[in-house]
């Protein structure tokens, strides 16, 4: 897959909740790094606002990580304060993915352990991926993003050299 085309893809999955969430986030990124995810370059991470995920990204990427909160999640948090009839719906790919997982999960009458849950989740993700659309504005936007990340990386380079000395 050519990432420059703006195609969306599921990179990995991890099951965790509660206190295990922080460790699961770090384990997920560490595992992806071991499988070839480049962590030596600057990256823009758009996340839902989970503090554990932000910490895991900083732990794995360090100062090279630029973290931005997803605007759809911010908007949803605001609209959740409105009465039901005044709320907006979302076209966020992550929200749609979660909706697919919930829809397929409703078909199961009795869950039989983590492997079964993971299997149904993967089936729902594969199903949702067939409806992923190309990210808009990728032709010029991705070029600008790559240049901004390179500028960020270059700004960090003198600091990295000083720390190494």
pLDDT for 116 equals: 86
Q: What is the pLDDT of residue 96?
A: 73
The pLDDT of residue 2 is 47
Q: What is the pLDDT along the chain (165 residues), one digit of tens a residue?
A: 444 555 666 777 767 777 777 788 888 888 888 988 888 888 888 888 788 889 999 998 889 898 988 777 777 777 777 677 666 555 566 677 777 888 888 888 888 888 888 888 888 888 887 777 666 666 677 778 788 888 888 888 765 555 555
User: At 51, phi and psi to the nearest 5?
Assistant: -65, -35
User: How distant is the alpha carbon of residue 114 from its chain centre?
Assistant: 22
Q: What is the DSSP letter of 67?
A: E
The tally of domains found in the chain comes to 1
The pLDDT value recorded for residue 49 is 78
Q: What is the pLDDT of residue 36?
A: 87
Q: Are 124 and 104 in contact (CB under 8 A)?
A: yes
Give the structural domain span for 63: 3-164
- Residue 117's pLDDT is what? 84
Q: How many helices (H) and strands (E) does the chain have?
A: 6, 2
If you search the block for the tokens 């997803």, which residue do you land on?
A: 70
Give the pLDDT confidence score for residue 8 in this predicted structure.
63
């Amino acid at each position: 897959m050519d990432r420059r085309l703006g195609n969306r893809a599921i990179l990995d999955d991890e099951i965790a909740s509660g206190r295990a969430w922080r460790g699961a986030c770090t384990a997920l990124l560490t595992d992806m790094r071991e499988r070839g995810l480049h962590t030596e370059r600057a990256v823009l991470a758009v996340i839902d606002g989970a503090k554990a995920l932000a910490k895991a990204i900083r732990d794995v990427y360090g100062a090279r990580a630029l973290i931005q909160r997803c605007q759809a999640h911010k908007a949803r948090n605001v609209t959740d304060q409105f009465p039901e009839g005044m709320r907006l719906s979302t076209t966020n790919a992550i929200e749609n993915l979660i909706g697919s997982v919930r829809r397929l999960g409703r078909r199961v009458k009795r869950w039989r352990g983590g492997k079964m849950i993971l299997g149904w989740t993967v089936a729902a993700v594969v199903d949702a991926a067939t409806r992923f659309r190309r990210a808009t504005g990728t032709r010029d936007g991705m070029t600008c993003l790559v240049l901004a990340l390179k500028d960020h990386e270059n700004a960090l380079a003198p600091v990295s050299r000083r720390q190494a000395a």
